[in-house]
Every structure is written in structure tokens, then in C-alpha cells.
Structure 1
């Protein structure tokens, strides 16, 4: 298990989750807009934004102005595609390199279930989850990611719907940045809020 702790992950603080949720819903947000929506102090918001940027979760840009005045800083979620984070790109690249090294070192009796691009996506996903304090169990055949027990289920029980939505979008951004056929299909429903199993989807698989 990773030595990272949930207490230091990007989604460990509900204030950060709330900020990220707002930015995922509408890109190019300003500090003033986030302050109005959350009622947090601007300095607190800036601290959370700095943390999210350093984790590769969001990106910032300066507003292009055609009139006089100081340009505002705009914040958008890093989706791994149209809005790409240099930190996010580096993390997925490094994860793939470490994954390739591990597969060369390990002696496996059976061939890999997934192709190389999908394996690199899994590498990036696992490292992201470990950085968040999870100990993910990956089933490459069923394309499931078991995060049970979910450390956030109790600590943020009242915000579970928003938290799960934000987290799934964050993980989709990682998969997209890594490049490949896998995408987040959703989360398996459970009566136990501590049970968290994420279902992935292979692009080659279609459903009627």
C-alpha cells in the first residue's frame, strides 16, 4: 500500500471537493465566483486552488482582456484532453515507465489481459489512487477497481454524491491523459457506503 495518506489527498477536504465540483461543472472560474458559491475566504480558496494545481487536477490561465484592467486568473479542471495539465502528463508518463519496468522484472505465467495502452492507463490510475491513500484492487478481466473500504465514506458521508461524482471525473481525467481505450463507466451501487467498486469500460466494447 502507498505511504500516502487520505488526509493529504486532493479530495480529503470537502472544501476542495466543493471547489473542484464547481470548476468541473463550469470551467474558467474565478476566485470571486468560487468565493460567492462557497462563502470561503479568498485566501483559503487560493490555498486550495494551489494544492489542486500542484496535484495536476486543475489548471489556471490569465484572462485575455481587450479593455484596460488587470486580467483575472481563470481555473479549469484538467480533463486530460482539451484542458491538459503538465503535472498530470508527467505523472501518467512516469507511471507508465514504472509499470513497464515492473512488468519486465516480474515473471508472469500468463500473458497480459490488456494491451499496452490500456495497461499504461491502469498504471496511471493505480498511482493516482495510491497517492490519494487508497489500496486499489484491479481486476483486468472484469475491468473493475475495488477501493473498499472507502476511507471517505464515513468522514464525508453527508457529501457522498458530490464526492463520488468529483472523484469519478478526476479519475476519468487521468485515464484520458494516459491515452488508451479505457474509460470510467460508473460506480457499482451498494447499500453499504463504504463499499466502492468503480467499473471501467473498454472502448471496443459496445452495449445494446
Structure 2
């Protein structure tokens, strides 16, 4: 089996994974809440948040308050829904679709049998996963994404559930942002840390 590539991109550190886990679990979050939950300094949190905003994973908003005082900046997870969408994420989706169309013009057989909207979703998903250090293999028939070997295989066993939940949440957001019939359902259980398969599903709009 090939060795796993190291994780890369905006979520290359576990501190950023922790921050994403917190905002995915409950949004919005303030910097002080994130500092308390992670034990990191405010300046470190700000640096991580900026990278996550630039990556299209988190969006900032200004707190609405009725009392005096400077409003806080709050941070929410990008889910791809109209109320939690990111211009960066939308640009990534559109760019992935353009590159996918170029590839399919050269190699028509690479188009998904699931239809054009699902094809664009998969374009965006593949590029997101590659940016995150994965080597995705899509099975249209089984609706699976094989991410073996997982670049997080060497992570501490107690950290892996958080890593899996965060990456699944990011995949769900990418598919929602792209718009179409596919959703990321779950990460299949595996006895080997390097093995990772994500189960997709067709949503009601596929009908």
C-alpha cells in the first residue's frame, strides 16, 4: 500500500481542525470562546481563522447587540446553504466545474453517469479533497469516495473521530455549495487507520 501523503492546505494543522470542529458543532463562535476551548492565544486563533476564511471554510460576521460597546466578530462554519455560504467556496466550485468541463471535452468518458449536476458536485469534491491532501477515487455506482491511504492515519487514535467528523462536514459543505443530488452521508468504519471510505447518497432532489 502506498504511504499516505501529509495533510496540506488550510487545514494542515490539528489546531485548525479543532477550530473547525468547534464552529461546525455550534455556530457562531467568538474568539474568546475558541481560546477557552482550545487553550490557544488570541493572536494564534486569529491567524488560524484567517487561513480558514481564505480557504472558504469559515465566514465572519459582526455581532448584533442592543447594548453599548464594540460588537464582536463572530465566526461560523461554511455549510453551502444561502445563510452560510462563502464567496471563496463559490469561486472554488465554479473553477472546479470549468476545469472539469475542459477535461471532459478531452476525455468524454470521464463524465459521471449521475448527470451534469452531480458531475459538477464531484468536480468540486475532488478538488477540495486533493487540496486537503487526499487521493480520492470515486465510484459512481456504489456512491463511495475511497480516500485510502488516509493522510491522517498516523494521528493519535483519540484525535481521529474529530478529524473524520470535520472532513465529513467539509465534504457536505462542498457538495451543498455545488448544488445537486449528492450528499456526503457517513465515513465507513474500518479496522485499519489507513483505510477510509466515505459513503455518498442521493438526496430527495434527485427525484
With the length of structure 2 as denominator, give the TM-score of the two structures. Answer: 0.91
For residues 196 and 147 of structure 1, what CA distance do their matches in structure 2 show? 5
Q: 1:9 to 1:156 in 2, by over 3 A?
A: farther
How far 1:107 moved relative to its partner?
4.3
For residues 121 and 196 of structure 1, what CA distance do their matches in structure 2 show? 20
Other-structure match for 2:9: 9
Q: 1:111 to 1:16 in 2, by over 3 A?
A: closer
Unaligned runs of 5+ in 2: none
Cα RMSD (Å):
1.8
Q: May I ask how many residue pairs the two structures share in their alignment?
A: 201
Deviations 1:171-195 (A, max 9, x none): 1000000000000111111100110
Contact 1:14 1:156 in 2 (8 A): no
Contact 1:6 1:151 in 2 (8 A): yes
Other-structure match for 1:176: 176
For residues 161 and 64 of structure 2, what CA distance do their matches in structure 1 show? 35
Other-structure match for 1:137: 137
For residues 86 and 119 of structure 1, what CA distance do their matches in structure 2 show? 21
For residues 127 and 97 of structure 2, what CA distance do their matches in structure 1 show? 10
Deviations 1:95-115 (A, max 9, x none): 01111111111143x974110
What SS does the corresponding residue of 1:183 show, helix, strand or coil? strand
Alignment of 1:13-92 (within 5 A): 13-81=13-81, 82-92=83-93
How far 1:158 moved relative to its partner?
3.0
Contact 2:104 2:111 in 1 (8 A): no
Q: 1:47 to 1:118 in 2, by over 3 A?
A: same
Unaligned runs of 5+ in 1: none
What SS does the corresponding residue of 1:154 show, helix, strand or coil? coil
Deviations 1:9-44 (A, max 9, x none): 233211111111111111010000111111111111
Other-structure match for 2:167: 167
For residues 111 and 76 of structure 2, what CA distance do their matches in structure 1 show? 40
Farther-moved stretch of structure 1 (151-160 vs 79-88): 151-160
With the length of structure 1 as denominator, give the TM-score of the two structures. Answer: 0.91
For residues 36 and 112 of structure 1, what CA distance do their matches in structure 2 show? 45
How far 1:65 moved relative to its partner?
2.4
Structure 1 outlier segments of 4+, above 4 Å: none
What SS does the corresponding residue of 1:150 show, helix, strand or coil? coil
